Structure 1
Amino acid sequence: MKKGEPTASTVPAADEPTVLVIDDDPLARGALSSLFRSVGLSVRTFASATELLEHPLPTVPSCLVLDVRLPRLSGFDLQAELSRLGLKIPIIFITGHGDIPMSVKAMKAGAVDFLTKPFRDQEMLDAVTRALERDLKHRREEQSNLDIQARFQSLTPRERQIMALVTAGLMNKEVAFRIGITEMTVKIHRGHVMRKMGTKSLADLVLIAENLGIRGQEQ
């Protein structure tokens, strides 16, 4: 291993974007590690895919720079295994023996990029930037979905029922008639729903109901 090269046990600082490098060539690992650290990125390196699987993935925006040809478990095998485990992390494949069918296979399976050695430093940095941006966007969307689910769970059964009906386009008086309560009570519950879901307009509430799959579905 190249002197000064971060190892798999290197722990990135909190919220620091992290690049995971998997390559069985210590010189390649060292060169990539130095490149990424030169632009302020945290780096963790692994000599094999199986070594990576022994460690938890970072909880910060991250990506894999993954050699296609690895001992025991290939880069494509690792990509498939991560997918099977439901572990979503953007992958940039690197190889010294690439061809068009191989790159097509990688991209169809969700890879961000496929770079053939030798590649330019800027080419790699651009690919990593795209991968980290994709992962950051995915993490933000996941957190937003979790927040929405938590807000929805905070609604009472009656509030969920009214949310489903008003987002389906029913007027307050129609909702009142449908479930057998007064129009004023519907207005009160509707106000509670808007506040708890953190929405300022019916249009926003409709979008949330669509995402939750409850629009028009009485709870």
Structure 2
Amino acid sequence: MQIDSYVVHVVDDEVAVRKSLASLLTMTGFTVRVHESASNFLTDAQNIGKACLVTDLRMPDMNGLELLEQLNKKGRSIPTIVITGHGDITMAVAAMKAGAVDFIEKPFEDKVLVEAIRRAASRLGGASLLDDNIALLRTRLSQLSERERQILTGIVSGLPNKTIGYNLGISPRTVEVHRANIMWKMQARSLPELVRMTISLDFTG
């Protein structure tokens, strides 16, 4: 998908963040529009052509998850990237189940956002909704031990290592070791990528 064939809409309630993201994406070559709230974006959503959406998860009037739910009600599917702070993993997973194609944890490098937008934009060209080969992912998942599957369930539920360890009767350090093994076996480069994989597989534990 050519970078100049679609518009990137940025929704964030903080002026400084909107300006920073708009500057970064414009210098990268994207056409950008900014919106100070989810409500303002929804007002224009029906008249938007080819577009990608970058939205903060936590906003005062309507959060990113609620925005996606409203878009779904309107029958308006827009490839969406959710930006989230630490502790928002549960909501971020819910946003992906509501249709977001990616989520990025703060703080993030500029290139991470740019690459995420390019991936999201590939959906506009009719690409498959799944970036990963499902059969290959199932094979990787089958390599996880029962304990690793239990810990993976906790991870994608947004639980911290300490809570996962308490629930399973093991130390947080042991959880960290298993978590590293899970990332390696699944060949996930980041937590968002791991979550994308589990959603693609409808993983429930």
**Is the TM value for this pair above 0.5?**
yes
Q: How many Å apart are 1:133 and its aligned residue? A: 1.1
Q: Which aligned runs of 4 or more in structure 1 are off by greater than 4 angstroms?
A: none
How far off its partner does 1:116 sit?
1.3
**Percent identity for Structure 1 against Structure 2:** 44
2: CA distance between counterparts of 1:27 and 1:92?
19
Are residue 102 (structure 1) and residue 72 (structure 2) matched?
no
SS of corresponding position for 1:54: helix
Deviation of 1:104 after TM superposition, in Å, equals: 1.8
Q: Deviations over 1:159-218 (max 9, x none)?
A: xxxxxxxxxxxxxxxxxxxxxxxxxxxxxxxxxxxxxxxxxxxxxxxxxxxxxxxxxxxx
SS of residue paired to 2:41 = helix
Partner of 2:82, secondary structure, is strand
Match of residue 23 from structure 1: 12
Instruction: Provide the TM-score with structure 2 as the length reference.
Output: 0.56
Q: Which residue of 1 aligns with 2:124?
A: 135
Amino acid at match of 2:36: A
Q: 1:16 to 1:98 in 2, by over 3 A?
A: farther
Q: Quick one: which amino acid aligns to residue 93 of structure 1?
A: V
Higher relative contact order (CA 8 A, sep 6+): 2
Return 5+ residue gaps in structure 2 as ranges: 128-205
Larger CA Rg, structure 1 vs 2 = 1
* Residue of structure 1 in register with 2:64 after alignment: 75
* Residue of structure 2 in register with 1:32 after alignment: 21
Q: Distance in 2 between matches of 1:49 and 1:105?
A: 17
Per-residue deviation, residues 98-137 of structure 1 (Å, max 9, x unmatched) = 4432222122222111111111101000100011111232
Residue 33 of structure 2: which of 38, 44, 48 is its match?
A: 44
TM-score by length of 1: 0.53
Q: Which segments of 5 or more consecutive residues in structure 1 lack a partner in the other structure?
A: 1-14, 139-219
d(CA) in 2 for partners of 1:40, 1:46? 19
CA–CA separation in structure 2 for the residues paired with 1:117 and 1:127: 14
